[in-house]
A and B are shown apart, each in its own frame.
Chain A
């Protein structure tokens, strides 16, 4: 069975600085997708970025980028130029077929 592990329950960063959130996963499959979701206090899950496992190039979306290491089964999220609005819970997720498998989340605090 696939598992997703986020070992950082909480992280903090100063506004305009860079922060990296860690995620590791376990799978025997070769074709899958990885995601980072943001969940603000409103509870709405918002897709931040996704990575297809067959692509070697790391995904980037504006200030958000990932470091995908397939052999190490690692998928970290880097947030550059952090903003107060980035404060939220961040979930790493794995998907090969239908359902998403989530990690337990990292709460990110952003200080002015």
Chain B
């Protein structure tokens, strides 16, 4: 079946603009995660959603970052007033549930460049 998809693949934006990144999880997966991968770094957890529960936002670096998940499926990560330090690859993952025994499947990521 189809894997996790993300759009756009690449995004170049000017400093101060808002951007929206989209993630389509695997059908039937109730858990959805966003990670950020800065140049030369590992992946940093941002936020996760599990079904209808309140999301875990503990990894969001500032209040310029927000995310929502509509209808328990598609998720959008929004970055307001982008800064150059926001340049990174943003990866989305989904899993059947939040339990650690279930694998997280990753999308191909969105490369964000803030000029």
Interface residues of A (CB under 8 A from B): 4, 6, 32-33, 42-47, 50, 52, 91, 93, 95-105
Cβ–Cβ contact B56 & A105, under 8 A: no
Cβ–Cβ contact A99 & B101, under 8 A: no
Interface residues of B (CB under 8 A from A): 31, 33, 35, 40-45, 48, 50, 56, 59, 89, 91, 93, 98, 100-101, 103-104, 106-109, 111
Interface of A, helix, strand, loop or mixed by DSSP: loop
Cβ–Cβ contact A91 & B43, under 8 A: yes
Q: A91-B43, A98-B31, A99-B48 are in contact. Are A45 and B91 (CB under 8 A)?
A: yes
Cβ–Cβ contact B108 & A42, under 8 A: yes
The residues of B that contact A42 with a CB separation of less than 8 Å are 108
Out of A33, A44, A46, A47, name the residue touching B100 (CB < 8 Å): A33
Chain A min CB distance to B45 (Å)? 4
Cβ–Cβ contact A102 & B50, under 8 A: no
The residues of A that contact B42 with a CB separation of less than 8 Å are 4, 6, 91, 102-105
In the A-B complex, list the 8 residue pairs whose CB atoms are closest, starting with the nearest: A102-B42, A45-B106, A99-B45, A102-B43, A43-B109, A98-B98, A104-B42, A95-B100
